Amino acid sequence: MAGKRIGVTGSTGGLGGRIARRLADHGVEQRLLVRDAARAPRLEHASAIVFGGYDDADGMRRALDGIETLLLVSAAEDPDRVALHRGAVDAAVDAGVQRIVYTSFSAAAPDSTFTFGRDHFHTEEHIKQSGVAYTFLRDNLYVDFIPLLCGPEGVIRGPAGEGRVAAIARDDIADVAVAVLTGEGHDGQAYDLTGPEAFTLTEAAAELSRVTGRHITFEDETVEEAFESRRSSGAPDYMIEGWVTTYTAIAAGDLEAVSDCVERFCDREPQRLGDWLRANPESYRHLLHTA
Ligand SMILES: NC(=O)c1ccc[n+]([C@@H]2O[C@H](COP(=O)([O-])OP(=O)(O)OC[C@H]3O[C@@H](n4cnc5c(N)ncnc54)[C@H](OP(=O)(O)O)[C@@H]3O)[C@@H](O)[C@H]2O)c1
């Protein structure tokens, strides 16, 4: 285990996978904590260790033995997500981890409009109280998800009004994460990670129209309509509330502030929605084939 001082969770996922790949490209030794060895990315300078997830305190302590810095990627949405995160933090501290870099969310607060943002606030508080050194990466909405807000019929629907969202590409978050994980001077900091501009969903629909060649629109919904239209998904109430409050958080202006963190840490502009869409055509493939 000697030399493997960075532990990385979430490497089987979209964000953690990008961060692990970049660390490997930089020649950084890392230990990947995964729930399924078969899905661990095969990377140079990386070893994978299996644990049972954030609720497996023993496994997590074992996996983190000798690790100095932990990238803690927030868990999938779960009614007990705060408890999962608290358990993971406690296990990390018990194992001797000295620094946690946690992927949080913009405007994390106990009463944030976006209900899942409250989990991030409570996790941040727990990390602060644990005494470990920390850095919070408060990610805005992923640009990667903007095309997914649009159904195959070509309409984005939700109670976002003319609110703006400074969405950011996961690639840009990953670049900042690597700068933070491998750099110094980030202890005690909370960084808002955003794209270079805040756009309305009407503007997002216009960008999607440009890349798909279809007429894509945004239709504002009332909060009641939003809950009603998502009820048929069969998803649990807390999940539907999280989906709907993504839009109401945009309407409230909670996601509109633009930060300069990507420029500061990566020496380049973050990606704009239009550029990102053109570079990632698979992201809107579901909008290209219509009946
Ligand atoms: N800013 C945004 O717009 C936004 C949007 C969606 C989600 N998020 C949050 O950001 C996180 C990372 O995003 P992503 O795109 O990388 O998501 P993702 O592709 O779904 O990957 C999530 C990763 O976290 C791991 N994970 C989930 N629950 C876990 C648990 N209880 N214990 C241990 N590992 C767990 C998964 O492991 P397995 O492969 O074993 O499941 C996977 O590696 C998400 O988990 C979510 O909390 C942010």
CA of 9, closest atom in ligand 1 = 34
CA of 77, closest atom in ligand 1 = 47
Instruction: Flag whether pLDDT at 280 surpasses 50.
Output: yes
Nearest CA to 43 among 67, 8, 84, 75?
Answer: 8
Report the alpha-carbon distance of residue 205 to residue 77 in Å, rounded. Answer: 27
Instruction: Flag whether pLDDT at 64 surpasses 80.
Output: yes
Instruction: Flag whether pLDDT at 276 surpasses 60.
Output: yes
Q: 85: CA distance to ligand 1 center in Å?
A: 12
Percent of the chain with pLDDT strictly greater than 90? 98
Q: 214: CA distance to ligand 1 center in Å?
A: 32
Report the alpha-carbon distance of residue 232 to residue 226 in Å, rounded. Answer: 11
**Strand 189-193 vs strand 155-158: parallel, antiparallel, or unpaired?**
unpaired
CA 93 to chain centre: 23
Mean pLDDT of the chain: 96
pLDDT recorded at residue 139: 98
Q: 141: CA distance to ligand 1 center in Å?
A: 13
Is residue 2 very low, low, confident or very high in pLDDT (cuts 50, 70, 90)?
Answer: very low
CA 178 to chain centre: 14
Ligand 1 pocket: which of 19, 34, 35 to mutate (most atoms within 8 A of CB): 35
Report the alpha-carbon distance of residue 190 to residue 104 in Å, rounded. Answer: 9
Q: 240, 233 in Cβ contact below 8 A?
A: yes
Q: 10: CA distance to ligand 1 center in Å?
A: 6
246's tokens: 């993504």
CA nearest ligand 1 atom 24, residue: 10
The enclosing H or E element of 136 equals strand 133-139
Nearest CA to 179 among 106, 266, 68?
Answer: 266
Q: 35, 11 in Cβ contact below 8 A?
A: no
Residue type, 163: G
190-214 pLDDT, tens digit per residue, is 999 999 999 999 999 999 999 999 9
12-40 pLDDT, tens digit per residue, is 999 999 999 999 999 999 999 999 999 99
Residues having CB within 6 Å of any atom of ligand 1:
9-10, 12-16, 35-36, 53-54, 73-76, 84, 103, 105, 139, 141-142, 145
CA of 142, closest atom in ligand 1 = 3
